[in-house]
Structures are given as C-alpha cells and as structure tokens.
C-alpha cells in the first residue's frame, strides 16, 4: 500500500487522437475531483504521439508530448494506451507491465487478438489490466460482466456494438436508402471512416464479440474464432422485407451458450422483431442485451464511440486502477477456467427468413417444402406474394411468385444445404434473400 496522500500517481498517455485528446483534456480539467475520488492526485507525466508538430487544438503543455513512448512508459504508475492497432501498442503495454505499471486500454483489436498474453504479463507483474472502453464506448458493460455478474451464469449476450453499421442500417430502414447511399450519409456525418471496411465487414464487431464472449463465459475466445459477416450484402429489398414482417435489420454480435455446453460467437446481420428492445436502438447508438440464469434480462444502452463518451470509460478505469494503487490490491484478472469449446458456425442454431422467386405454377410449394423437410429444417410460416417489379426482363412477372418462408431454429449447416438444393429446383428462379432471424 502506497501512503503519502500528496504524492501524485504518475499517468502516461499513449496516443492523443480522438480518445486520447479527450482523456488528456478531462484529466486536466477534472484534476481536483479525480484527486478527491482517488485519494491522491493524478499527474499526467507525458503524452506519447507519432507527430510532435500536429495541431491538436488542445490546451495542453507542449512539454508533455514525446515521440519516445518506450521511455515514457518506464516513468509511470499507470499507462493509458489509446494508440490502437497491434504494434507498437502491444510492446508498449508489455513494457509498462515489466516496469510495474498498470494499464488502461481501449484497444479491442489487440485484446481480441492477444488478450491472454496481456493478462499473463499483468499477472506476472501483479498489476491491473482494465479495458472498459474497448467495447461499446461509454457504456458500462465489461465491468458489470466481469464483476457484477460474476456470481451468475450468463447464457446469452446479444449486442449492437458498432455505431457505424447501426447508423447505416437505421438510415436504410427509415428512408429506404440503399447501402451505398446510407454509407455516404454516415461518412458525411463523421460516423463512418473514409475506408469503412473494418465496420461494414464486421471486423470491429467481431473483435468486440470475442471480448464479450470471453468475459461472459469464462472462456478464451479470439477474434479469429468469431463467425463474421458484414452488412455490405444487405439490400434495400432485404430491409423492406424485414419491415413487411414487422422486423428491422441490425448487425448483431451474438454470444451464446449452447445446450451441449459449447459457446457460439457470431457477428452477422439479422432481422429482429420491432418489439425487441434492441430494435429501438437508432442512429449510431450501441446497446447490449444480456440474459443470465438468475438476473434474467438486462439491457445496456448508450454512446458506443466518440472522444468524450469513450474517455468517460477510460477515466472510470483509471480511477479504479488508481484506487488500487492507493489502497492496495488488484482488480480481477483473466477468468478462463470454464474453457468451453467454441462451436463451428455450422452448428449454430437460428431461425431463418428465406425469400424465393419461383414459377407461379402448381406443385411449387410442395417441391420447396420437400427440400426444407429433406434437410430437417422445419418451416414456421410460408407466405406467397406478388413479385415486386424487378426490372429483369428475362421472366414474365405474371408467371412468377415470391415465396417468403420463416423457419424454426435449425443448424446453419442445414440451412446452407437447403439453399443449395433449392437453387437446383427448376421452379426456383432465384433465392432472393436469406437472413437470420433473432430475438424472439
């Protein structure tokens, strides 16, 4: 236990971009309150950056900035890493641990790729590793999973954890816009990067899903083990079809315990009923729905990104870790004792929406139903409706119909083989849409 109440706790900040700039500003502006909450002053001893001459528009002492982050981490009690990416962030964090510093990071990519290495190094050094800001920005979520729910059994985590894709899908839903148009709108508002690949292809959400699953199920899950499908193939027609069913399309991160004791972790677009709590999550907001044996259903909602919201989570961690420095002890380390097997996507069970463009002639429905039955996929509802104007001259619209089928829960592999066989039926012109249905 360190004693002198006046001795500052030395903070090194690595990175001074969107998040780091907000952390530095709040740390300086709220210094007196933070000192009172921690029991000792928090002193910013340096800020590691890549470009010293960058105009940051921040009211900070220029002498704090350094290009030598390796040296900076050796003279800190707590290192805040908000550089992002794998290297040099990983080496700097490991170096911080070697020098006895605790680490607060917002780096989902690194945690999802190499979390166990970081935990092991923190353990060896007897220090803390906190990362609340890595998933869902400002929303207190990881500490509730890691601490508040430590006495319960989490069965499912269903989350909207990427604000960019939620904005894009919400725009498509509310205006009828296509994917490209909605991405451009997100870019104009600063919700999407110039290169939106990490968001729209689901990489960002997959890293977060890995972190959530690891905490929820006390099992190591890496980003590579997460099934990932982005939203680039979601069309205006899919969004309209969801509307027709009383649903909305969302990019979901889904972590669940299966009946046979495995863990399924997947990120993909899915239809959810408009009555589900996640359906009302609009624009760039995030929300995570958690089901636990004893607690029942819980919902966490708020801003998942942005300088100040993310800095709020970083500073919350900083205060927690600083309090440990003052009072002694550490927060919880890695909990991976359950070591559950991570399931293949083919074994994941969900309901499906399937839309087929078929010949409008006797026997089609029976032929289609047989394919589903042969693959052991049970049909919940089937509806035949007029074909929407397609602009495709290769068929006579008068002889075509659209079959809209919703299945009961079935393994992903069974649905895949169903679709493959449907495409071989002469009466099926096209499988126009296949989407998973969640949240009932």
Catalytic residues: 208
Q: How far is the CB of 56 from ligand NAP (least distance, A)?
A: 7
Q: How far apart are the first and last CA of the chain?
A: 50
Q: How far is the CB of 106 from ligand NAP (least distance, A)?
A: 4
* Residue closer to ligand NAP, measured from CB, 33 or 68: 68
Q: How far is the CB of 20 from ligand NAP (least distance, A)?
A: 5
Q: How far is the CB of 65 from ligand NAP (least distance, A)?
A: 8
Render 126-137 in DSSP notation, one character per residue.
T--EE-GGGTTT
Whole-angstrom Cα distance, residue 128 to residue 7?
20
Residue ranges of E strands in 32-169: 42-48, 65-66, 78-81, 102-105, 129-130, 154-160
* Residue closer to ligand NAP, measured from CB, 54 or 388: 54
353, two tokens = 């929406």
Residue 314 is given by DSSP the state H
Whole-angstrom Cα distance, residue 250 to residue 272?
7
* Residue closer to ligand NAP, measured from CB, 107 or 418: 107
Q: How far is the CB of 117 from ligand NAP (least distance, A)?
A: 17
99, two tokens = 């020098």
Whole-angstrom Cα distance, residue 324 to residue 280?
39
Beta strand pairing call for 428-437 and 263-273: parallel
* Residue closer to ligand NAP, measured from CB, 191 or 372: 191
Whole-angstrom Cα distance, residue 216 to residue 220?
10
* Residue closer to ligand NAP, measured from CB, 223 or 356: 223
Q: How far is the CB of 369 from ligand NAP (least distance, A)?
A: 47
Task: List Cα–Cα distances, 184 to 171, 175, 199, in angstroms.
Answer: 11, 14, 14
Residues 6+ apart with CB under 8 A from 391: none
Whole-angstrom Cα distance, residue 15 to residue 89?
10
Q: How far is the CB of 377 from ligand NAP (least distance, A)?
A: 39
Whole-angstrom Cα distance, residue 63 to residue 18?
20
Residues 74, 93 contacting (CB under 8 angstroms): no
Residues 302, 185 contacting (CB under 8 angstroms): no
Q: Which residue is nearest to ligand NAP (CB)?
A: 17
Cα torsion 103, 104, 110, 111 to 10°: value is 100
Task: Name the residues that contact ligand NAP, by CB under 6 A.
Answer: 14-20, 48-51, 54, 69, 82-84, 88, 106-108, 133, 137, 305-306, 310
Whole-angstrom Cα distance, residue 5 to residue 38?
10
Strand order in the sheet with 42-48: 65-66, 42-48, 9-14, 78-81, 102-105, 129-130
* Residue closer to ligand NAP, measured from CB, 14 or 213: 14
288, two tokens = 């995570």
* Residue closer to ligand NAP, measured from CB, 49 or 404: 49
* Residue closer to ligand NAP, measured from CB, 138 or 356: 138
Which residues in 133-153 are b (16+ Cβ under 10 Å) and which e?
Answer: bbbbbbbebbbbbbeebeeee
């Amino acid at each position: 236990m360190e004693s002198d109440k006046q001795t500052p706790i030395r903070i090194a900040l690595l990175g001074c971009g969107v998040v780091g700039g907000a952390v530095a500003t709040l740390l300086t502006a709220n210094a007196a309150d933070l000192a009172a909450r921690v029991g000792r002053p928090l002193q910013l001893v340096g800020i590691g950056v890549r470009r010293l001459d960058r105009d940051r528009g921040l009211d900070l002492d220029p002498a704090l900035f350094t290009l030598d982050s390796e040296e900076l981490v050796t003279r800190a009690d707590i290192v805040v890493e908000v550089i992002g990416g794998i290297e040099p962030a990983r080496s700097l964090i490991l170096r911080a641990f070697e020098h006895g510093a605790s680490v607060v990071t917002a780096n989902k990519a690194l945690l999802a790729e190499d979390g166990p290495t970081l935990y092991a190094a923190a353990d060896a050094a007897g220090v803390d590793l906190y990362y609340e800001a890595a998933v869902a920005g400002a929303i207190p979520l990881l500490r509730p999973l890691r601490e508040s729910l430590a006495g319960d059994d989490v069965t499912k985590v269903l989350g909207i954890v990427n604000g960019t894709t939620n904005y894009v899908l919400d725009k498509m839903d509310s205006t009828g816009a296509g994917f490209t148009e909605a991405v451009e709108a997100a870019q104009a508002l600063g919700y999407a990067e110039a290169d939106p690949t990490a968001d729209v292809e689901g990489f960002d959400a997959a890293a977060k899903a890995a972190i959530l699953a690891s905490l929820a199920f006390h099992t190591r899950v890496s980003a590579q083990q997460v099934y990932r499908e982005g939203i680039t193939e979601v069309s205006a027609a899919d969004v309209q079809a969801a509307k027709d069913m009383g649903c909305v399309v969302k990019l979901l991160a889904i972590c669940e315990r299966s009946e046979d004791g495995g863990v399924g972790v997947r990120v993909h677009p899915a239809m959810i009923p408009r009555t589900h709590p996640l359906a009302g999550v609009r624009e760039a907001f995030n929300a995570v729905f958690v089901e636990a044996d004893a607690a029942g259903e819980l919902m966490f909602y708020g801003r998942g990104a942005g300088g100040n919201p993310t800095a709020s989570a970083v500073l919350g961690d900083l205060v927690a870790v600083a309090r440990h420095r003052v009072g002694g002890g550490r927060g919880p380390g890695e909990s991976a004792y359950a070591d559950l097997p991570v399931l293949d996507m083919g074994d994941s069970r969900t309901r499906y929406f399937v839309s087929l463009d078929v010949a409008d002639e006797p026997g089609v429905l029976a032929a289609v139903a047989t394919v589903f039955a042969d693959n052991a996929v049970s049909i919940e509802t089937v509806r035949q409706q007029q074909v929407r104007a397609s602009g495709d001259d290769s068929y006579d619209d008068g002889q075509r119909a659209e079959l809209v089928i919703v299945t009961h829960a079935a393994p992903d592999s069974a649905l895949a083989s169903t679709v493959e066989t449907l495409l071989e039926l002469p009466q099926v012109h096209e499988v126009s849409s296949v989407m998973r249905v969640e949240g009932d």
